[in-house]
């Protein structure tokens, strides 16, 4: 998804440029830039720096700059945007002495920025990939003009201690949000599983771990113990009936694995432990005990509840 200019720079900036808004200032190393800061509620373009860089940068060395960045090709195709990454958190970059080997790279460009600045940088792709990324220019970038454009919006510049405390707090908040979302999803999935059982006239039992199971063929065989190797015939499907895997696809050979060792999804470790040797059952597994928000391949979407028809054929 392409992020529009206002997301990084602010709509007011587009209305208050002075002179040619498309012209660039240029450092001796070849880095081209336009930098803006807010004055009286408007974005104003900062004056050009000396060709050797910002003389005030020395006072910021040792601190951490927090900024959102968006990388684009010369033809304006978005390569990466920090706002589009999980959590949408800004990048945190340590401000250090810019060495000669870094001139012409991202490091020199960031050294021009001050708190509250917005900027557009334009780099020669060969130079910036060699100096900042230590790798060759990808062919698709070279074909798009051999130029790398970076949009940046500075959030703040902090001491290392303050930046670490803020990062830890943001991580804590993100974890709390994930826990809340997981709890809400679990309630919704539990309701879906119960509705599925009712619709299909199945008498399911919810195990303490969260798996629902329905014994379709009881047996008096022994129950497997953690660490024992079990052999299971199975058919896995989504709740809409789409089969994504089965023993039949593998020559009708049972899958073998040590129980309770994390070799299979948690729902299997929990569900198979409930069965007697020789029994058959239906396992209904919430997504948190299956493949979660990532899904699996092209057949199992994110946050998918899974049904497995299983038979515990052997316990070794």
132-144 pLDDT per residue, tens: 999 999 999 999 9
Q: Is the pLDDT of residue 5 over 50?
A: no
In the prediction, which pLDDT does 19 show? 46
Q: Is the pLDDT of residue 271 over 90?
A: yes
Beta-sheet strands, E only, within 40-87: 42-45, 64-73, 78-81
- CB-based contact 63:160 (threshold 8 Å): yes
Instruction: Name the pLDDT band for 20 (thresholds 50, 70, 90).
Output: low
In the prediction, which pLDDT does 85 show? 84
In the prediction, which pLDDT does 9 show? 44
Where exactly are the structural domains of the chain? 5-158, 200-315
Handedness of CA 58, 62, 67, 73 (dihedral sign): positive
Contacts of 224 (CB under 8 A, 6+ apart): 230, 259, 272, 273, 275, 277, 312, 315
- The mean-pLDDT minimum among 4-8, 48-52, 142-146, 199-203 falls in 4-8
Instruction: Name the pLDDT band for 40 (thresholds 50, 70, 90).
Output: confident
Helix and strand tally (H, E) in the chain?
7, 15
In the prediction, which pLDDT does 89 show? 82
Q: Is the pLDDT of residue 12 over 50?
A: no
C-alpha distance from residue 59 to each of 56, 102, 250 (Å): 6, 19, 66
Pick the CATH number of 200-315 from 3.40.1190.20, 3.10.50.40, 3.40.190.10, 3.90.1150.10: 3.10.50.40
Residue 261 has phi, psi (to 5 degrees) of: -110, 10
> Alpha carbon 5 to chain centroid distance?
23
Enter the pTM of the model.
0.60
Judged by DSSP in three states, 315 sits in strand
Per-residue pLDDT, averaged over 35-51, amounts to 88
Per-residue pLDDT, averaged over 106-119, amounts to 93
Pick the CATH number of 5-158 from 3.10.50.40, 3.40.50.1240, 3.30.420.40, 3.30.930.10: 3.10.50.40
Q: Each residue of 213-265: pLDDT tens digit?
A: 999 999 999 999 999 999 999 999 999 999 999 999 888 899 999 999 999 99
In the prediction, which pLDDT does 39 show? 86
Residue 21 has phi, psi (to 5 degrees) of: -70, -10
Q: Is the pLDDT of residue 289 over 90?
A: yes
| 5-158 and 200-315 in the same fold | yes
- CB-based contact 8:35 (threshold 8 Å): no
């Amino acid at each position: 998804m392409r992020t529009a200019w206002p997301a990084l720079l602010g709509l007011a900036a587009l209305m208050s440029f002075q002179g040619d808004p498309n012209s660039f200032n240029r450092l001796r190393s070849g880095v081209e830039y336009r930098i803006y800061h807010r004055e009286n509620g408007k974005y104003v373009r900062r004056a050009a720096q000396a060709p050797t860089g910002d003389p005030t940068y020395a006072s910021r060395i040792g601190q951490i700059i927090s900024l959102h960045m968006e990388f684009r090709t010369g033809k304006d195709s978005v390569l990466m945007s920090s706002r589009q990454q999980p959590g949408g958190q800004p990048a945190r970059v340590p401000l250090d002495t810019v060495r000669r080997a870094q001139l012409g790279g991202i490091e020199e460009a960031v050294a021009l920025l001050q708190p509250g600045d917005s900027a557009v940088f334009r780099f020669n792709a060969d130079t910036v990939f060699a100096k900042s990324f230590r790798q060759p220019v990808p062919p698709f970038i070279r074909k798009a003009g051999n130029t790398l454009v970076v949009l940046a919006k500075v959030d703040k510049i902090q001491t290392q201690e303050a930046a670490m405390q803020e990062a830890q707090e943001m991580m804590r908040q993100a974890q709390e949000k994930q826990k809340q979302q997981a709890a809400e999803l679990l309630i919704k999935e539990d309701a879906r599983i119960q509705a599925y059982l009712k619709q299909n006239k199945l008498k399911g039992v919810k195990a303490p771990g969260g798996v629902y199971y329905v014994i379709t063929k009881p047996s008096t065989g022994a129950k497997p113990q953690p660490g024992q190797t079990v052999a299971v015939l199975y058919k896995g499907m989504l709740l809409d009936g789409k089969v994504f895997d089965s023993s039949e696809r593998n020559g009708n050979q049972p899958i073998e694995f040590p129980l309770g060792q994390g070799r299979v999804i948690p729902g299997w470790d929990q569900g198979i432990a409930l069965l007697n040797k020789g029994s058959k059952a239906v396992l209904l597994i919430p997504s948190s005990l299956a493949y979660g928000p990532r899904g699996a391949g092209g057949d199992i979407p994110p946050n998918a509840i899974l049904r497995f028809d299983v038979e515990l054929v052997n316990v070794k």
